[in-house]
């Protein structure tokens, strides 16, 4: 009996670079470890997509601030001892033949090939660790096999406004990619229009963008990285354009919801979009659960609060007067008379004891959480922040971009840094 394609597949999830565009959320953690939707981490998304697609052997490649990511994966992904499933972290390591850091996506996979080669697999699925989507990789694998492709690239139709941010490609009638350009300038876009289907064309999404999701036949991947393109550091910029000339590279068009969480603005928008009545990314889909660490937390407790379009994670104590269009993360505490609008509060890593709160108060330090009579709008509050009473944070485009010791402002969004202490009456 032959194995299913998913059982013959090994997934490699790229942890990304230093994540400077997501700073200050990445000041002390790697990009895949950034908390999303109140209780998950970014890396849970690709891992969950793999598990839901029947792919249960995964490597996560990381090199920056990887301690919290290591801890999260170690505490979360436990499989039966009778299966060969695993999620292993491969941190950049100095070896005799490679003393350097990962230089790009292809170089990261090349440096980890000795781990990949130890596993029996026909296909290698390469994923990014900073995207929000729900995709069945089993269908992409079946498409890859049916077309007899050497490489498949998942593609998504995009509009003219977004096209210059992506690798854009064109394919023939058989769905094979004929040309590829990385981040084209606006003035040449007219040469790159594709037939993306009636619905997408109606929405103005007429360019096929690479999602940075690739399936390689394993032997070809190893040969390309070790021999043919042994100096190439990046898949999108170097290996894909060169491969199109020589190999069967297929486009697998995906029409569902997908967003690249590359910067603070897209991260903020993606989180707040989850509060809509029927969000594009559905956390309530039984067939596509998002897995994460199972925490033994009490349910949320809410008293006297008007809630409108808000997600509240477990372990929270909310006494606020109003919370709207916001995501409230685990173990968040919000005091009486406070209003929170269009914000993402990440919550806390632990509960303070009554003794700790009393001790902090004696030294004039606020409790972990948000105090009383505060007003918070267009703000991301990172984990374990202590925000006093009568604090006003009014984010918006009237604020210039700035980086302060306690907070950063980017594109009008205020990001309060992890563990920051904002005293009573503080105003941003």
Q: What pLDDT score was predicted for residue 71?
A: 87
Residues whose CB falls within 8 Å of the CB of residue 73, separated by 6 or more in sequence, listed in order = 43, 60, 87, 89
pLDDT in 10s for each residue of the chain, 428 residues: 457 888 899 999 998 766 788 999 989 888 889 999 999 999 999 999 999 999 999 999 887 777 888 889 888 998 888 888 988 888 765 555 655 666 788 888 998 888 889 999 999 999 988 899 999 999 999 999 999 999 999 999 999 988 998 889 999 988 999 999 888 888 898 889 998 888 888 989 999 999 999 999 999 999 999 999 888 888 988 999 899 989 999 999 998 999 988 899 999 999 999 999 999 999 998 999 999 998 999 999 999 999 999 999 999 999 999 999 999 999 999 999 999 999 999 999 999 999 999 999 999 999 999 999 999 999 999 999 999 999 999 999 999 999 999 999 999 999 999 999 999 999 99
Q: How many other C-beta atoms lie within 10 A of the C-beta of residue 387?
A: 28
Give the bridge partners for 324, in sequence order.
Answer: 308, 341
244 Ramachandran zone, left/alpha/beta (phi>0; psi -120 to 50): alpha
* CA–CA separation, 311 and 324 (whole Å): 9
Residue spans of the domains in the chain: they are 5-273, 301-422
Q: What is the DSSP letter of 238?
A: I
Describe the chain by its helix, strand, coil percentages, rounded to 5: 25, 30, 45
Q: Which fold has domain 5-273?
A: Spore Coat Polysaccharide Biosynthesis Protein SpsA; Chain A (3.90.550)
Beta bridge partners of 60: 13, 89
Which tokens go with 275? 């509060």
- As a residue count, the chain comes to 428
Query: Which string of b and e fits 247-279 if b means at least 16 CB within 10 Å?
Result: bbbbbbbbeebbbbbbbbebbbebbbbbbeeeb
The pLDDT of residue 98: 58
- What 3-state class would DSSP assign to 106? helix
The Cα angle at residue 235 between residues 231 and 238, in degrees rounded to 5: 55
Confidence (pTM) = 0.93
The answer to whether domain 301-422 has CATH 3.30.300.30 is: no
For every residue of 337-389, DSSP letters joined together read: T-EEES-EE---SSPPPHHHHHHHHHTTPPPSEE-SS-EEESEEE-TT-EE-T
């Amino acid at each position: 009996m032959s194995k299913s394609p998913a059982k013959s597949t090994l997934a490699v999830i790229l942890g990304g670079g230093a994540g400077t565009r997501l700073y200050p959320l990445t000041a002390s953690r790697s990009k895949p470890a950034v908390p999303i939707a109140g209780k998950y981490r970014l890396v849970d998304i690709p891992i969950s997509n793999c598990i839901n697609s029947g792919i249960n052997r995964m490597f996560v490649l990381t090199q920056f601030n990887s301690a919290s990511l290591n801890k999260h994966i170690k505490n979360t992904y436990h499989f039966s001892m009778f299966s060969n499933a695993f999620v292993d972290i491969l941190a950049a390591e100095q070896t005799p033949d490679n003393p350097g850091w990962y230089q790009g996506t292809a170089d990261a996979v090349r440096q980890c090939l000795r781990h990949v080669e130890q596993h029996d697999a026909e296909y290698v699925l390469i994923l990014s660790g900073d995207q929000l989507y729900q995709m069945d990789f089993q269908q992409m694998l079946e498409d890859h096999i049916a077309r007899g492709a050497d490489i498949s690239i998942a593609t998504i139709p995009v509009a003219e406004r977004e096209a210059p941010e992506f690798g854009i490609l064109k394919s023939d009638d058989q769905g094979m990619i004929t040309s590829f350009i990385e981040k084209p300038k606006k003035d040449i876009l007219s040469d790159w229009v594709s037939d993306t289907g009636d619905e997408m064309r109606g929405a103005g999404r007429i360019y096929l963008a690479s999602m940075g999701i690739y399936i390689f036949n394993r032997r070809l991947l190893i040969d390309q990285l070790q021999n043919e393109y042994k100096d190439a550091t990046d898949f999108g910029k170097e290996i894909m354009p060169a491969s199109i000339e020589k190999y069967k590279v297929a486009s697998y068009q995906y029409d569902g919801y997908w967003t690249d969480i590359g910067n603070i603005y897209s991260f903020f928008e993606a989180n707040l979009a989850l509060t809509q009545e029927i969000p594009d990314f559905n956390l309530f889909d039984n067939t596509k659960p998002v897995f994460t660490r199972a925490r033994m937390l009490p349910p949320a407790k809410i008293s006297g609060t008007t809630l409108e379009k808000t997600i509240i994670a477990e372990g929270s104590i909310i006494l606020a007067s109003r919370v709207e269009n916001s995501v409230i993360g685990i173990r968040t505490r919000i005091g009486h008379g406070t209003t929170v609008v269009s914000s993402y509060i990440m919550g806390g890593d632990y509960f303070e004891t009554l003794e700790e709160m009393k001790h902090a108060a004696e030294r004039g330090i606020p409790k972990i959480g948000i105090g009383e009579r505060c007003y918070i709008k267009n703000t991301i509050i990172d984990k374990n922040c202590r925000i006093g009473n009568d604090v006003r944070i009014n984010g918006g485009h009237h604020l210039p971009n700035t980086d302060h010791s306690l907070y950063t402002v980017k594109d009008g969004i205020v990001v309060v840094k992890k563990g920051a202490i904002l005293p009573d009456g503080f105003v941003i």
